[in-house]
Amino acid sequence: MTSNLVCALVLGLVVGCSPATTVVTSPGPSGGLPEGISVTGVGEAHGPPTIAKVTIGVETRAVGASEAIGNANQRMQAVLAALTQAGVASADVRTNNLSLSYERTSYGPPEPAPPTPLTAPAKPGAPSKTETTATRAETAPASLPEGFYRASNTVSVTIRDLPKIGQILGAATTAGADEMLGVEFRIEDTSALETKARELAVADAKARAERLAQLSGVKLGRPISIIESNAGHSPPSYGYEMRAAAMNKVPVEAGSLTVQTQVQVVYELAK
C-alpha cells in the first residue's frame, strides 16, 4: 500500500496546476499516526468594495510659525466643510497628522561685522588728536538662518458612497486640499465572502483527496483533521499627489476585491 501512496503523490504533483500544496502521509515508524491523505484546498470569493479610505492634506509655507499654522488650519477648515457638504459624515473624518518644520534656504555662515578702529591716546605735550593704530574684528551675533516654516495638516477620510468618490475628492481639492496620499478600497464586512470561500476550499480539498485516492487505488475515509488558514484579501491602493489647479471630478475605479481561504484536511483511508 505504501508504494501506491508514494506513486499517487508523484502523480498528484505532476498533474496538479494549483499553487496549493498536496501531501500524502503514511504510518510512522511507531505506528502511532493513522494512514491518511493530507490535502490543502483553496477557495476564493470575489465582491465589490463597500468603502474607500483616503488621506487628504493641506500644506502651507510662511516666514513665521504662527502664520504657517494659521494658514494650514484655515485651509483645512474649508476642506472639512466641503467634505461635509459632499455628504461625508463627521464620524468618518479623523485627524491623521499635524506637523510644523523649519526649512533653510541659506546654509552659509553669518558674515563677520566690519572692523572697528582703535584709537591711541596723544603723546604728552603733543596736540590732542585721534590716531588709528590697529583694528579689531567683532563677530556678529548668531541668528536664525534664512528660510521658512512648513505646516502640514492631514485627515483620514472614510468614503461610504463609492459612486460619489470622484465628486468628493474633487470637492476637497477645490476647497484647497493639495495632497492625497492614497485611496484604498476595502470590504467592511467580509463574513459573507469568507463563508463562500470556505465552502469552495472544503470542496476543493475533498476533490483533491478523492482524485489521489483513485490514483492510488485506495478508498477515501472520513476527515480526521481540518485546519483553516484565512489568507484574507489585499485591496488595491491608488496613490495621488495633487498640487495643480482645483478639479471638478477625480476619476477613480473601485474594481473588485478577493477574499481567499485555505483549509488543510487529513482524510483517513477506508479499510
Q: Are residues 128 and 156 in the same domain?
A: yes
Asked whether the predicted pLDDT for residue 145 surpasses 60, the reply is: no
Q: Are residues 63 and 175 in the same domain?
A: yes
Q: Are residues 44 and 136 in the same domain?
A: no
Predicted confidence (pLDDT) per residue in 172-200, tens digit: 999 999 998 888 899 989 899 999 999 99
Give the mean pLDDT of 63-67.
Answer: 92
Asked whether the predicted pLDDT for residue 8 surpasses 50, the reply is: no
251 lies in some domain: no
Beta-bridge partners for 115? none
Compute the distance between CA of residue 189 and CA of residue 160 in angstroms, rounded to an integer.
13
101 lies in some domain: yes
Long-range contacts of 127-135 (CB under 8 A, 24+ apart): none
| Terminal C-alpha separation, the chain | 12
Within 10 angstroms of residue 55's Cβ, the number of other Cβ atoms is: 17
pLDDT at 21: 47
Q: What are phi and psi of 197, to 5 degrees?
A: -65, -35
The residue whose grid cell reads 459624515 is 89
Check which CATH number belongs to the domain holding 108 and give it. 3.30.70.2970
Grid cell digits, residue 117:
578702529
Give the mean pLDDT of 113-126.
Answer: 57
Domain containing 78: what range? 51-186
249 lies in some domain: no
Percentage of residues of the chain with pLDDT beyond 70: 63
Q: What are phi and psi of 190, to 5 degrees?
A: -100, 10
For 230-252, b where at least 16 C-beta lie within 10 A, e where not — what string?
A: eeebebeebebebeeeeeeebeb
Q: Between the CA of residue 265 and those of 37, 80, 166, 233, 271, what are the distances in Å?
A: 8, 52, 45, 22, 19
Total of domains in the chain = 2
247 lies in some domain: no
Q: Are residues 113 and 144 in the same domain?
A: yes
